[in-house]
Amino acid sequence: MAAQLIDGKARAERLRAGVKDSVAGLKERHGFVPGLAVVLVGEDPASKVYVGSKVKQTEECGMRSIEHRLPEETSEADLIALVQQLNNDPEVDGILVQMPLPKHINTDNVVLSIDPMKDVDGLHPVNAGSLVLGKPGLVACTPQGCVLLAKQALSNKLSGLNAVVLGRSILVGKPVSLLLQNENCTVTMAHSRTQNIEEVCRSADLLVAAVGRPEMVRGDWIKPGACVIDVGINRVPAPEKGEGKSKLVGDVHFEEALEVAGSITPVPGGVGPMTIACLLSNTVQAACNLRSMPLIAAVAGY
Ligand code: NAP
């Protein structure tokens, strides 16, 4: 039987609706509107598209969007000076510096310069550390999106499941594994040195693939009925669509997985849309934290 499709677009839309309600509530009852500052350095075409979507969706949720577009040759010191200015600006609740940064800028130094309270990307060591400790903090957006989708597919019954996370990056694999441990999964992390990786994957009730290798996970790597969250976004040639055409595929061979899994995220339309939605909900959370307010119900209960 074909797996159930986990619709990330619909889930993200629901989350954004929760954010929109929360923003309206904050404005009406507390007299402020959260603001998200997005900083883009250079002309990377993909980054420009991402920043455009972030700005648009921020405004659609009723929040203020503050945009800073800096030239490619901006120095690290000037970028950090801007971040510090945003740290001190009471109109700014969240700061997102779009990655990747130009090669002459040290990304770690920039991330470290962001006020952890405004670090809506959840990348600052204070927030990453809070996740390790199981304490409240701002959680990285894509990992948060993965877990929300898994919870939806599994009706919130994650406790006790065997979860395998393929990939151990700081951005995706590691935070996903920590979030799943917090959900009481038994988590195995697999990576490029893992032996018998197919077998390890086959032990998973919940498999999260974040390796950046097109269609690496084949159907026979998947336990029948498992929930599969495919984080990969890989552009590959698609001669069937015409000469020079390409398409997006995940890290999982979708057609094969569809025959075996219980539920699966498509690519595109799975984890991708959740990332910006989680960024917006993190911004509302940051705005509440900065004012020592509990997170208001619409987002807390999404
Ligand atoms: P990354 O930093 O390149 O990390 C890849 C991880 O996969 C590493 O831990 C690596 O292991 C492991 N790996 C690579 N080849 C492997 C193999 N043959 N067998 C087993 N493990 C292997 O990538 P990332 O930033 O985590 O991103 C992963 C994928 O998610 C990419 O396709 C990216 O485009 C996508 N992504 C999507 C979103 C979204 O919004 N949907 C957001 C972020 C990333 P080692 O540590 O041993 O080298």
With 0-12 / 13-18 / 19 or more C-beta atoms within 10 angstroms meaning exposed / middle / buried, residue 99 is: middle
Range of the domain at 105: 33-115
List the one residue out of 220, 229, 223 whose CA is nearest residue 261.
223
For a mutational test of ligand 1's pocket, the pick from 141, 142, 169, 208, i.e. the residue with the most ligand atoms closer than 8 A to its C-beta, is 169
Where residue 208 sits, what CATH number does that domain have? 3.40.50.720
Same domain (yes/no): 265, 179: yes
Q: What pLDDT, in 10s, does the model give residues 127-170?
A: 999 999 989 999 999 999 999 999 999 999 999 999 999 999 99
Catalytic residue check, 121: yes
The verdict on the CB of residue 113 being under 6 Å from ligand 1 is: no
Residue 246 contacts residue 236 (beta carbons within 8 Å): yes
Same domain (yes/no): 148, 257: yes
232 Cα: distance to centroid of ligand 1 (angstroms): 7
The verdict on the CB of residue 173 being under 6 Å from ligand 1 is: yes
The answer to whether residue 13 is domain-embedded is no
The verdict on the CB of residue 143 being under 6 Å from ligand 1 is: no
Please state, rounded to an integer, the average pLDDT across all residues of the chain: 96
The whole-angstrom separation of Cα 37 and Cα 51 is 11
Tell me the chain's radius of gyration from C-alpha atoms: 19
Count of structural domains, the chain:
2
User: What pLDDT does residue 294 have?
Assistant: 80
Q: What pLDDT, in 10s, does the model give residues 109-131?
A: 999 999 999 999 999 999 999 99
The whole-angstrom separation of Cα 49 and Cα 65 is 16
State which of 80, 115, 150 marks the end of a domain: 115
25 Cα: distance to centroid of ligand 1 (angstroms): 38
The answer to whether residue 111 is domain-embedded is yes
Q: What pLDDT, in 10s, does the model give residues 206-265?
A: 999 999 999 999 999 999 999 999 999 999 999 999 999 999 999 999 999 999 999 999
The answer to whether residue 247 is domain-embedded is yes
The model's pTM is: 0.96
The answer to whether residue 124 is domain-embedded is no
Query: Can the peptide bond before residue 100 be classed as cis, meaning omega within 30 degrees of 0?
Result: yes
Q: What are phi and psi of 108, to 5 degrees?
A: -60, -40
The whole-angstrom separation of Cα 201 and Cα 252 is 12
The answer to whether residue 286 is domain-embedded is no
Same domain (yes/no): 178, 260: yes
Same domain (yes/no): 72, 149: no
Is a pLDDT exceeding 80 seen at residue 65?
Answer: yes
Where residue 90 sits, what CATH number does that domain have? 3.40.50.10860
Same domain (yes/no): 157, 228: yes
List the one residue out of 235, 122, 114 whose CA is nearest residue 171.
122
The whole-angstrom separation of Cα 197 and Cα 193 is 9
User: What pLDDT does residue 170 have?
Assistant: 94
